[in-house]
Structure 1
Amino acid sequence: MGVDPDSLRGRGAQMEALAELERRQIQILTRITELELSHLPQHFSDSLSISTPDENSETNPANSTTTTEARLSAILSSNGVRDFSFKRVPSDYYDRPLEFRRDCLGAPSIDHLCKSIVLVNTQAPSNVIDCSDHNNSKYYVVVVQYVARFNAETVKNFLYALNNGKIPKKKFNMRLAPEETSLKLTGFEHNGVTCIGMKTDIPVILDEAIVKLDPNFFWLGGGDIDLKLGIRTSEFINFVRPFIVNCSGA
C-alpha cells in the first residue's frame, strides 16, 4: 500500500510547528527568569547563568542544563521563592567525598547536602495506582541528607497514622522505585532528581533533620546530573508543602 504524499507533508508541517512552539516556550521561560532575577539580590543572581539555547543539545550538552536551570528558576520565582541558587558541579562530583562536594557548592557543612529519592508502595491496594491521593499515594519523593540513613519503617508508620489506621499497616511497604520508574514520573535522571518541576505531582516527604539545619539553606539535585539547587528551607516548605517526617538516622 502506497503512502499518501499529502499525509506525509501534513505530518512534517505538524512536527515543525511543535518544534517552533517548544522553541518559543523556552524563550518565554528564559525571559521570565531574567526579569525575575533582576529583582534578586546580586549574590543570588550572579550564580544563575541564564542564556537562550541557540545550538542543538547534541552538539552542545551544556544547553540541556541551561534549559533546565531556566525552567526551574522560572517555576521557583513565579511561586514566590527568592532565596535559591543553581551551581554546576564537576563530572567526577559523585566519585569524590562529601567534603569535596560541600566545597564545590560552598555549603556550610556536609549535613546540608541532600538528595531526593522516589519510593513506591509495593503493597498498595489495587485501586491505588497513582499520586492522586497524597495521603495514600502509590509513590512518594523523600528528601534526606546524604549523611543520614533512611528508615522506610518510619515512613510506613507515618502513612498508617496519616490515614487514621483505616488502611491496614501491611498495605504500606515503601521501597526504592526502579530508576526507569523514577525517570518516567519525575522527568529527571538519577542524581539529578529534584522536587521542582516534576512531570507528576508526587507528594514529597522532607526529613525533619533538614528542617533543623543551621543555617536553614540546603542543597539537592537540580534537574540535571551536574546541576545542583540550593534553597532556603522555609521557602522550600512554603512552595512544595511537603510532609515533614523524622525518617532517618545519622
Structure 2
Amino acid sequence: MSDQNQQSSSVQTQVEIFKDNWEMAKVALKLKIYFAEKGWVSVDIQKVEKGYYDQDLSWRMRRLGAPSEAYLCKSMIMENTGFKQEFESKYYQRFYCVIIQYVTKMNSDKLLKAARAIQNNNCEEKVGKSGYNLRLLNEEESNQMTGYGYNGVTPFLFNQKMPILISDKLGNLNPKFFFLGGGHADLKLRKLKLIKNISYQNLFIQKGVSFDEFINKHEYDVYPCDLSDTDKNWKHLQD
C-alpha cells in the first residue's frame, strides 16, 4: 500500500472512530494539533468504551495497558478562596490544577502547604496561612475554567492558564510515565511505542505520558509536590 493510500486509510479510520460524536472528534483534533506543533513525543489520544468509569480501577488499568493501578491519574481544579490579589504572581494564583494517582488520597493540608511552599520559596513578600484556602471546583465551574466536562479534564489548553501541582510519586514510577484524561470522558492520553522484535515484526507497547517530558515541556508552570511528606519539611513557611 502506498503512503498516500495508508494516510487515506488512517484518516478514514479516524472518521469511523469519531463519526458518532463530533464533539469528541473536535477535542481529539485540537489536542493532536497542539501536541504536534509543540513537539510532544510521548502523548497520543486513545478512545475507550463508554462506561469506562463504571469499571473498577483494575479493569481500567488492564484496558489502558498500564503496568499497575499507580499509573492511572486524575486532574482536578482547585480554587484558592483565600487568594489575595495584591500578592498575585506566577507562584501565587487563584486557581491550580492538581494531578494525583487514583490509588492515593489527596491530603488537603499537605496540598495547601505545598502551594504555600511554592510562593514562600520564590517570592520576597511571603503569603501566610490566611492567603490560602483550597477547595475543589464543582463540575460546572471546572468546565468554565478548563473547557472540559465531567471525567474529561486534561491538563492542556485550558480556558484559563494556571499552575499545575503534580504528585512527585509519579516521578518514582518505573517506567516513569502515567496515564491521563484526554479532554472527554471517552478519551485518554497515552502513547504506543513501536519496536521491532527479533523476527522483524512490528510490535506496539503501551506507554503513558512521560513524566520528564510533562515537567520539562509543558507551557504551564509544573511543580512536582511531595504531598505525603512529614510536617517537619514545612517549618519554614510564613504564618
Is the 8 Å Cα contact of residues 207 and 248 (structure 1) preserved in structure 2? no
Q: TM-score, normalised by structure 2?
A: 0.74
User: Which whole-Å CA distance do the structure 2 matches of 1:160 and 1:97 have between them?
Assistant: 34
Task: Report deviation, 1:155.
Answer: 2.3
Partners of 1:213 and 1:74 lie apart in 2 by 29
In the TM superposition, 1:56-71 aligns within 5 A as: 60-71=19-30
Query: How large is the Cα RMSD of the aligned pairs?
Result: 2.4
- Name which of 13, 35, 44 aligns with 1:85: 44
In the other structure, the counterpart of 1:192 is: 152
Q: What's the CA shift for 1:84?
A: 1.8
Matched, 1:139 2:95: yes
Q: Is the 8 A contact 1:149 1:248 kept in 2?
A: no
* SS of the residue 1:94 aligns to: helix
Q: Which residue of 1 aligns with 2:119?
A: 163
Q: How far apart are the structure 2 equivalents of 1:69 and 1:100? A: 23
1:50 Cα deviation from its structure 2 partner: 4.3
2:142 counterpart residue number:
182
1:212 has 2:172 as partner: yes
The one-letter amino acid of 1:65's match is M
Aligned 1:92-171 pairs, distance under 5 A: 92-125=51-84, 133-164=89-120, 166-171=126-131
Give the 3 Å change call, closer, same or farther, for CA 234–51 of structure 1 in structure 2: farther
Q: Distance in 1 between matches of 2:165 and 2:118?
A: 13
Compared CA separation, residues 92 and 81, structure 1 to 2 (3 A): same
1:236 aligns with 2:214: yes
Report the alpha carbon displacement of residue 118 of structure 1 after superposing the two structures with TM.
0.2
How far apart, in 2, do the equivalents of 1:248 and 1:149 lie?
Answer: 10
Q: Is the 8 A contact 1:156 1:173 kept in 2?
A: yes
Rounded to whole Å, the distance in 2 between the matches of 1:161 and 1:217 is: 25
* Deviation at residue 173 of structure 1 after TM alignment: 1.2
The offset of 1:121, in angstroms, is 0.7
SS of the residue 2:154 aligns to: coil
* Residue deviations 1:206-227 (CA, integer Å, cap 9, x gap): 1111111111121111001110
Q: Percent identity?
A: 30
With a CA cutoff of 8 Å and minimum separation of 6, indicate the structure with the bigger relative contact order.
Answer: 2
The alignment partner of 1:150 has SS state of coil
- Equivalents in 2 of 1:71, 1:83: separation in Å? 17
| TM-score computed with the length of structure 1 as normaliser | 0.71
Deviations 1:191-249, CA, capped at 9 Å, x for gaps: 10011111111111111111111111211110011101121111111222411101259
**Maintained 8 Å contact 2:114/2:227:** no
Which residues of structure 2 form unaligned runs of 5+? 1-6, 191-208, 230-239
**Where in structure 1 do 4 or more consecutive aligned residues deviate above 6 Å?**
none
